[in-house]
């Protein structure tokens, strides 16, 4: 019997599908979203040496990677996500938690000695269902939870950056920010994918 030739299927390695993903892979960042934070940082001067930073919805950790390099060894970073995050740097601690448990997140930070963070970041997005109104409502829910944590944990004049999807509830959400926060701004970043409805809201906690 003549021998047969068997073709073994070997999966192709993952190839990043756009220039930002390719750049992130080349520069050692875990996700293309790092360039969103870089742009926001350049525009608003968010990160400075020695800061205490809280990152909500932090997996896989690209924002923590960049923020850790900016605040340096005298800074401290705390990341929260439902997905475990691989170790990043000595000044970064991560926790597997649901950020909508705002009390639990606050208690965890207080146990770590954090009572006056300089900056709260939230790049979290819901698992999309394809139903735009539902996805946008979930995005508002996550943004609201992030802002509640920020209001509790930020020092006076501290800043918060939150991602949210535009939609039917956005105007009401943004209008409500003016009651509790200083200088709310809506920001679109270059790295956002085409047809995405995401924007970032940047706010500052009152000095009072």
Catalytic residue check, 163: yes
Query: 3-class SS at 2?
Result: coil
Element housing 20 (H / E): helix 19-27
Rounded CA-CA distance 64/44 in Å is: 17
Catalytic residue among 36, 159, 163, 205: 163
Burial degree of 144 (CB within 10 A; 0-12, 13-18, 19+): middle
Strand partners, 120: 54, 160
Structure tokens at 81: 């996500």
**Which residues are known to be catalytic?**
163
């Amino acid at each position: 019997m003549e021998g047969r030739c068997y073709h073994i299927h070997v999966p192709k390695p993952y190839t990043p599908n756009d220039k930002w993903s390719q750049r992130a892979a080349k520069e050692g960042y875990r996700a293309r979203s790092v360039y969103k934070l870089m742009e926001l940082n350049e525009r608003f001067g968010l990160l400075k040496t020695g800061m205490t930073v809280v990152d909500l919805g932090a997996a896989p950790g690209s924002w923590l990677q960049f923020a850790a390099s900016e605040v340096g060894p005298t800074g401290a970073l705390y990341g929260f996500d439902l997905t475990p995050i691989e170790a990043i740097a000595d000044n970064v601690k991560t926790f597997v938690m649901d950020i909508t448990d705002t009390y639990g997140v606050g208690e965890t930070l207080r146990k770590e000695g954090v009572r006056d963070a300089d900056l709260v970041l939230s790049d979290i997005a819901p698992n999309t269902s394809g139903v735009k109104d539902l996805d946008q409502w979930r995005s508002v829910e996550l943004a609201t939870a992030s802002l509640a944590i920020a209001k509790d944990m930020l020092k006076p004049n501290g800043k918060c950056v939150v991602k949210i999807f535009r939609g039917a509830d956005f105007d009401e959400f943004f209008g409500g920010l003016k009651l509790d926060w200083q200088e709310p701004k809506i920001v679109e970043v270059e790295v956002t994918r085409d047809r995405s409805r995401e924007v970032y809201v940047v706010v500052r906690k009152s000095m009072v």
